[in-house]
Amino acid sequence: MKLINAAIALLTIPAVAAFAPVAPSFGVRTIGAPSTFDFALDAKKSIEDLTEAELKGKKVLIRCDVNVPLDGKTITDDTRIRSSVPTIEYLKSKGAIVTVCSHLGRPKDGPEDKFSLGPCAERLGELLGQEVKLCPDSIGDEVKAMVDAAKEGDVLMLENTRFYKEEEKNDPAHVEKLAAPFDLFVNDAFGTAHRAHASTEGVTKFLQPSVSGYLLAKELEYLDGAIQNGEKPMAAIVGGSKVSSKITVLNALLDKCDKIIIGGGMVFTFLKAKGLSVGTSLVEDDYVETAKEVMEKADKLGKQILLPSDIIVADKFDAEAETQIVKADAIPDGWMGLDNGPDSTAEQKEFLSDCKTVIMNGPMGVFEFKAFEKGTFGIVDILADLTKEKGAVTIIGGGDSVAACEKSGRAGDMSHISTGGGASLELLEGKVLPGVAALNDK
């Protein structure tokens, strides 16, 4: 498995904030950073590189990402828990004693009942068809006693690792306590692999071997394959609210992709950079020059950037706002853009029609509001049809992009739905993922 720093930025900006006007708070930035797609990590070991003797009867600590959304104690989306099952099942089948660790939410001052992993342990047990005992803590004598008492094929879950501030600080003394009951470590949490925390990076200093699970390996291999060796023409769809949060993404994707579609609230900073009036739409004035630089870079590289030609505008940021469709160069004063218009969607379909690899990162509009969902669902349909009808590779990343695909009913038609967030952003920026770099080389 060749683990290469090549992926897309998968940010999780809430959809309803993607177009909301805000006061600018950033300085002018330039886009002179070099391409980051050439940085490579050495091949890392995965669970399949371990012999049965290395797993049978061994106490395995596996870092999963079960940071699921909850409504009280009810899990509203168990995708992350289900994604962890294949690796856990494999370890069980080899006779390992499996203990899952993860964080949930952002506890501030120690244990909070609303952030307990109890619901996650219960749901994992349902998926595995066996009891998953929740340990009362993530460290300590009681945890060790429960691990020691477990039998081959048993599955335990530690309580929320972030109930200790030392987790995120990667405190060595805490790390040693966390690792103490176990023999080896498996990291299967791509979404937190960019964090050098006790449960992602620190434990590798005490537990050997330390290897990747199926989910982590799949994400890295799939994204690497699509970006490094993806069939051309290659396109990227970059949505979201702010140029400031996507400048590194745009810079890197311009180097690698043939075509770029820009959508979301960031569109209006680009329109203003072209000298157009944008009404009360979201604009980062400090990034207007940056937007100009992006477009100039695209021209120099011979790359194509597509901005929307028509916009659905509203008189206020509200699900029940008055709306109208206007040309992108005719946004009236006092109105704000909240979605692409139908002409833009038609142009996007033509623009992408010959593409063999397409990456989507971010919605085109405030799709959580019925009046402003058509632009996002339209491009989701375009990608799904490209995959089904033409065999294109389509990668969906970012919380809002994934949510839009799920809501539209087309998620199953995409080539790959990534679980990554900030981890993929840092891959793209050329940063080493501590949780990956710390694993054993092949």
**DSSP code, position 37:** T
User: At a CB cut-off of 8 Å and minimum separation 6, what does 2 contact?
Assistant: 40, 43, 221, 224
Residue 422 a catalytic site member:
yes
- Minimal CA–CA distance to 184: which of 199, 215, 167, 206? 206
Annotated catalytic residue, options 58, 242, 374, 410: 242
- Minimal CA–CA distance to 281: which of 318, 329, 316? 316
Match 């909240």 to its residue by tokens: 338
Annotated catalytic residue, options 44, 63, 80, 177: 80
Cβ atoms 379, 342 nearer than 8 A? no
Annotated catalytic residue, options 95, 125, 225, 399: 399
User: At a CB cut-off of 8 Å and minimum separation 6, what does 325 contact?
Assistant: 310, 311, 312, 313, 341, 342
C-alpha to C-alpha distances, 76 to 9, 71, 269, nearest whole angstrom: 25, 7, 35
Cβ atoms 160, 116 nearer than 8 A? yes
Annotated catalytic residue, options 95, 105, 118, 422: 422
Q: How far apart are CA 301 and CA 201, in angstroms?
A: 39
Alpha helices in 172-229 (DSSP H): 172-179, 214-229
**DSSP code, position 231:** P
**DSSP code, position 138:** S
132: three-class secondary structure by DSSP: strand
Q: How far apart are CA 356 and CA 379, in angstroms?
A: 15
Residue 80 a catalytic site member:
yes
Residue 63 a catalytic site member:
no
Residue 272 a catalytic site member:
no
What residues are labeled active site? Answer: 80, 242, 399, 422
